[in-house]
Structure formats: C-alpha cells, structure tokens
Amino acid sequence: MRLTAAFLGLAILAAPSALAGPAEGGAIYEARCKMCHATGMANAPLIEKLAALDNQKIIDSLNTPVPMMAGVVGGLTDEDKRNIAVFLTKKSLPASGSLPEVKAE
Ligand code: HEC
C-alpha cells in the first residue's frame, strides 16, 4: 500500500483529482516531505514523531513553516494540509467550515 502511494505520488502532481483524503496526503508526503522526515536530515523530526502529533499541530506547522520547509509548502491548499495531517496521524479530522471531513483509512 505504501509503495503504491509512492508511485501514485508521481501521478498526482499531474492529475490532482486522481486521489483524495489521506491517500492524497500520503502522495504529497512522498513527493515533498519524505526527503527530510524519513531520514532526519537537517534534524527534521522523523515520521514516527510527526505521527504522534495532533492534526492541528501539523496543519499549523504547514501554515507557518520553519524556514527549512518554506519552499515545500508553497501551493498546498488547506485540503492538502488536512489530508497530509490525517495521513501522518491516522486520526480523522471533522469537517471545518467549507472543508470536508477527512477520514483516516
Ligand atoms: C528540507 C527539509 C524538510 C522538508 C522537505 C520538510 N520538512 Fe518538516 N521539518 C523540517 C525540520 C528541520 C523541522 C524541525 C524544525 C524545528 O523544530 O526547528 C520540521 C518540522 C516539521 C513539523 C513540526 C514537528 C514538531 O514536532 O513540531 C511538521 C509537522 C513537519 N515538519 C511536517 C512536514 C511536512 C508535512 C512536510 C511536507 C509538506 C515537510 N515537513 C517537509 C524539515 C523539512
């Protein structure tokens, strides 16, 4: 499953509607986050540590990124950020304003 997401990650940049929810978040993670958070590069917290955070904390970190991350969060929509958070935490997010619920898989 994780491997499939990695391959789909390449496709999603060209066709954003191909995936939704945490699967889309996982594809974005593969493409934009993994290079630091899978290896601890530049002291980035490992993915296991991100997984233990609250969804809101992750969304906040993407809304006001540290300088290291400023370049990779550009162009992410609020929906993308919520999808990434649920992909990482495996905790569902309730609907918020016009944003739909994101169900953990
Ligand atoms: C260039 C490397 C790099 C990339 C790419 C990157 N990050 Fe980070 N990230 C960091 C570093 C370094 C920190 C730690 C900053 C600090 O604590 O000062 C961090 C911190 C975070 C935190 C906060 C962790 C905490 O405990 O507060 C979250 C959440 C996060 N990153 C998510 C992401 C997501 C999601 C992506 C992809 C969209 C991403 N990062 C891409 C380097 C990166």
Within 6 A (CB) of ligand 1 lie 32-33, 35-37, 41-45, 50, 53, 58, 61-62, 66, 68-69, 72-73, 84
Query: How many Å apart are CA 95 and CA 78, to the nearest integer?
Result: 12
pLDDT tens digits for range 75-93: 999 999 999 999 999 999 9
- Distance between Cα 76 and ligand 1 center (Å): 14
Tokens of 7: 């391959």
Q: From residue 18, how far is each of 27, 30, 61, 71, 82 by CA, in Å?
A: 11, 16, 26, 24, 17
pLDDT tens digits for range 29-78: 999 999 999 999 989 999 999 999 999 999 999 999 999 999 999 999 99
